[in-house]
Amino acid sequence: MTLETVGFWGLAVVLLASSLAVVLARNLFHSVLYLAMALVATGGVFLLLDAAFLFGVQLLLYAGGVVTIVVFAIMLTEQLVGERIRQTSRRLAPGGVVAVGVFVGVLVSLGRVSLPTARPPFPGNQTAALGEALVTRYVVALELLAILFVATLLGALYFARPDD
Amino acid sequence: MGLHAYLLLAAAVFTTGLFGVLTRRNAVGILLGVELMLNAVNINFVAFARYNAEIAGLVFALFTIAITVAEVAIGLAIVIAIFRVRQTVDADHLDLLKG
C-alpha cells in the first residue's frame, strides 16, 4: 500500500459520506456544512493528482466563496431556529432508481474501455505551464470569462436592487 | 491507482448529486446537488489531465470552477428574489410558468 492508495481511499470515504450527507441531511444548514467537507475532500483528490494550484483554487473559490454565499442565502430565506430550515425530500424511490441507473451505466461503459493505469511524467512545472497556457492558447476564453464575471456582477446587482 | 478508480469515485459523487437534484424540494438544496455534480466533473477533468500529461484538462477544470462560482451567485440571487415575492423557496410551489 503506497501513500497514494491510502490517501485515495481515505478521501474517497470522506467524499462519498459527506456527499450522501449533503443530499440526505434534514437540516439545510447541515447540508451546506457537509458540502464544504465534500469540497475540501475534492481538493484533496486534486492534490493526489498533482494539481496543487487547483487545490488552492478549490479551497479559495469553492470552499470559501460558494459556501459563504449559500450560507447567506439560507440565512435570508429561512429561519435558522424553528421548523422552516427542516427540508423534506420527495419521490425518493424514483430518484434513487435514476441515480443508481446512471451509475450502473457509467460502470458498464467504464468496464468496456481500457484506460491508462500509469502516470506519464509531467514535462516541466505544471503550474507554470497552466499559467502560460491561459495567456497564450486559451487567452480568448480567459477574456470571455472576464466578460462573464462583469455580467454576473451586474446581474447580482440587478437582483439585489431595492424595491421601488 | 489507475484512472479507473478516480473515474468511479467521480461517477459515484455525480450520481449522489443527481439524486439530490431529483429529490430535494428546497431550491437551495437543489443547487447544492448541482454543486456536487459539477465537482465530480472536475475530478474527471483533473484525472484525465494527469494520466494523459495534458494541460487542457486543468484549464478546463479551472474554467468550470470559475463559471460555477458565477452560476451560484446568480442562482442564489434569483432564489432570494423569488423569496421576496413569493415568501417560499419550495420548488414544488414555484410553478408560475406552468401552462
Q: What's the confidence (pLDDT) of residue A16? A: 94
Contact A76, B76 (CB under 8 A): no
Report chain A residues whose CB lies below 8 A from the CB of B11. 103, 106-107, 110
Q: What's the confidence (pLDDT) of residue A146? A: 93
> pLDDT digits over A19-77, tens only?
999 988 888 888 899 999 999 999 999 998 888 899 999 998 888 888 888 888 888 77
DSSP state of A121: P
> pLDDT digits over B14-28, tens only?
999 999 999 888 888
Q: Look at residue A17 and tell me whether its pLDDT is greater than 90.
A: yes
Residue B93 touches partner A, C-beta closer than 8 Å: no
In a domain, B25, yes or no: yes
Q: What's the confidence (pLDDT) of residue B98? A: 74
One DSSP character per residue, chain B reads --HHHHHHHHHHHHHHHHHHHHHB-BHHHHHHHHHHHHHHHHHHHHHHHHHTT-THHHHHHHHHHHHHHHHHHHHHHHHHHHHHHHS--BGGG--TT--
Residue A61 touches partner B, C-beta closer than 8 Å: yes
In a domain, B98, yes or no: no
The interface pTM score, or ipTM, of the predicted complex is 0.89
Contact A107, B7 (CB under 8 A): no
Of A74, A100, A116, the CB nearest to B51: A116
In a domain, B99, yes or no: no
Record the cell numbers describing residue B6, joined without a space: 478516480
3-state secondary structure A3-21: HHHHHHHHHHHHHHHHHHH
In a domain, B78, yes or no: yes
Rounded to whole angstroms, the Cα distance separating A55 from A46 reads 6
* Full residue range of the structural domain in which residue B71 is found: 3-93
* CATH number of the domain bearing residue B54: 1.10.287.3510
Q: Look at residue B95 and tell me whether its pLDDT is greater than 80.
A: no
In a domain, B85, yes or no: yes
In a domain, B56, yes or no: yes
A71-80, A137-146, B74-83, range with greatest mean pLDDT = A137-146
Q: What's the confidence (pLDDT) of residue A93? A: 85
Give the end-to-end CA distance of chain B in Å, rounded to a whole number: 51
Q: What's the confidence (pLDDT) of residue A68? A: 87
Burial annotation B11-41 (CB, 10 A radius, 16+ → b, else e): bbbbbbbbbbbbbbbbbbbbbbbbbbbbbbb
Alpha carbon of residue A131 to chain centroid:
22
User: Who has greater pLDDT, B44 or A161?
Assistant: B44
Q: Which of A54, A126, A142 to mutate to test the interface with B (most CBs of B within 10 A)?
A: A54
In a domain, B27, yes or no: yes
Lowest mean pLDDT among A96-100, B81-85, B95-99: B95-99
Q: How many domains does chain B have?
A: 1
Mean pLDDT of chain B: 87
Q: What's the confidence (pLDDT) of residue A164? A: 63
Q: Look at residue A81 and tell me whether its pLDDT is greater than 70.
A: no
In a domain, B35, yes or no: yes
In three-state secondary structure terms, A2 is: coil
Q: With the C-alpha atoms ordered A33, A35, A40, A45, is the resulting torsion angle positive or negative?
A: positive
> pLDDT digits over B84-94, tens only?
877 777 777 77
Residue B91 touches partner A, C-beta closer than 8 Å: no
Residue A41 touches partner B, C-beta closer than 8 Å: no
Alpha carbon of residue A157 to chain centroid:
25
Give the type of residue at A33: L
> pLDDT digits over A84-138, tens only?
566 677 788 888 899 999 999 988 988 888 887 777 877 778 888 888 888 999 9
Q: Which residues pair with B24 in a beta bridge?
A: A89
Contact A54, A70 (CB under 8 A): no
Rounded to whole angstroms, the Cα distance separating A80 from A43 reads 29
Record the cell numbers describing residue A59, joined without a space: 479551497
